């Protein structure tokens, strides 16, 4: 069902808002452009030169008229600014209760990792009517995540996490594009977002993810890289204890404070000397180049799980392969996700 001609489906909670703003800008452009064009034609005829030596009467300035043509566009422009800033503000501030999906872009594909361990390429499964937050990065150049039907687009920049969120309102399959020229096969860097009804989504989730949850994969990696040697769980190690850290404020050696979010954990792994925790020496070696972007996200998911931050139910959904008891969702949350 196309609600606006020449535009994609309206399939997210933002779609209506963005279309309304866009429609208003169109209408305003047509009205102002039309009125000015017609006036030019009308005045050109009305005030045309009627004989060779005609001299026009002098024009006197009108302050009132000037005030109107300055005042009205000012109010209209500020109105557009406030309106669009409101939409922008909501779009780029993901809600707490959103389902987390981690995204790694590379030439030329989209890789998705769900908290329960499901991994997908160029295909993203999400439930209808739930908020979904994407934490995205790229292995190589700048890409841009664009789902026209959701009216969301976000550049994905190397070396940092970019987030975007959406709430699909209609089940279906929607095109996903890369909207930033990124090399030879840029035009082939496309995929689909599958928006599923709750029961189908549950069925898809219960299909099981090989290798357990994302946090469990991260834990294995944590062991392999021998992170435990220093980051002991009782706090006696040479590095800070990581239990309960995620999402909290961390006191740094230089006196500053930071929130332990995805970006901070990522930086602490790739560039450990950038933000050293107060009371510890800058002795950790960098893991830049040793862990891929996807593995970084797995480690983050693990550190996140150590703080009991699990994300909402559907992603922590029953994953029979998950050998870690930690991310198991509470029964109440499971019910909620089936509504």
Site residues (vs ligand CUA, CB under 6 A): 108, 143, 178, 180-182, 186, 189
In this complex, which beta carbon is closest to ligand CUA, that of residue 136 or of residue 260? Answer: 136
CB atoms < 10 A from the CB of 145, how many? Answer: 24
Given its phi and psi angles, is residue 148 left (phi above 0), alpha (psi -120 to 50 degrees) or beta?
alpha
CA 156 to chain centre: 9
Query: Cβ distance 166 to 96 under 8 Å?
Result: no
Nearer to ligand CUA, 152 or 189 (CB): 189
Largest distance between two CA atoms of the chain: 99
Of 125 and 143, nearer to ligand CUA (C-beta) is 143
C-alpha span between 121 and 81 (Å, rounded)? 38
In whole angstroms, how close is the CB of 99 to ligand CUA at the nearest point? 24
Q: Are 127 and 195 in contact (CB under 8 A)?
A: yes
Residue with tokens 């302050």: 63
Please say which residue, 74 or 181, places its beta carbon nearer to ligand CUA. 181
C-alpha distance across the termini of the chain, in Å? 25
Choose between 118 and 186: whose C-beta lies nearer to ligand CUA: 186
Tokens of 34: 């039309």
Nearer to ligand CUA, 189 or 205 (CB): 189
Task: Answer whether 137's CB lies under 8 Å from 156's CB.
Answer: yes
């Amino acid at each position: 069902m196309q609600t606006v001609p020449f535009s994609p489906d309206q399939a997210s909670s933002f779609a209506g808002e963005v279309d309304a703003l866009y429609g208003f800008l169109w209408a305003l452009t047509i009205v102002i452009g039309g009125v000015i064009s017609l006036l030019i034609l009308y005045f050109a005829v009305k005030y045309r030169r009627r004989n060779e030596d005609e001299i026009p009467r002098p024009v006197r300035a009108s302050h009132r008229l000037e005030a109107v043509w300055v005042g009205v566009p000012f109010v209209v422009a500020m109105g557009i600014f406030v309106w669009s800033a409101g939409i922008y503000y909501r779009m780029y501030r993901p809600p707490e209760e959103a389902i987390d999906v981690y995204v790694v872009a590379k030439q030329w594909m989209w890789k998705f990792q769900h908290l329960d361990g499901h991994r997908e390429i160029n295909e993203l499964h999400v439930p209808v009517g739930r908020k979904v937050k994407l934490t995205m990065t790229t292995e190589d150049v700048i890409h841009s995540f664009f789902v026209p039907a959701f009216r969301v687009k976000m550049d994905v920049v190397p070396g940092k996490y970019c987030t975007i969120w959406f709430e699909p309102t209609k089940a279906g399959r929607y095109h996903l594009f890369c909207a930033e020229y990124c090399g030879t096969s840029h035009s082939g860097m496309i995929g689909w977002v599958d928006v599923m009804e709750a029961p189908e989504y549950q069925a898809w989730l219960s299909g099981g993810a090989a290798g357990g949850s994302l946090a469990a994969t991260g834990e294995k990696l944590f062991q392999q890289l021998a992170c435990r040697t220093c980051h002991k769980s009782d706090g006696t190690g040479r590095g800070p204890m990581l239990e309960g850290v995620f999402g909290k404020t961390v006191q740094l050696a230089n006196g500053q404070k930071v929130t332990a979010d995805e970006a901070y954990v990522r930086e602490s792994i790739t560039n450990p000397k950038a933000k050293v925790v107060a009371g510890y020496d800058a002795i950790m070696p960098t893991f830049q180049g040793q862990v891929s972007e996807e593995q970084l996200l797995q480690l983050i998911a693990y550190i996140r799980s150590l703080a009991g931050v699990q994300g909402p139910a559907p992603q922590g959904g029953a994953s029979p392969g998950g050998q870690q008891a930690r991310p198991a969702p509470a029964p109440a949350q499971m019910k909620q996700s089936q509504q």
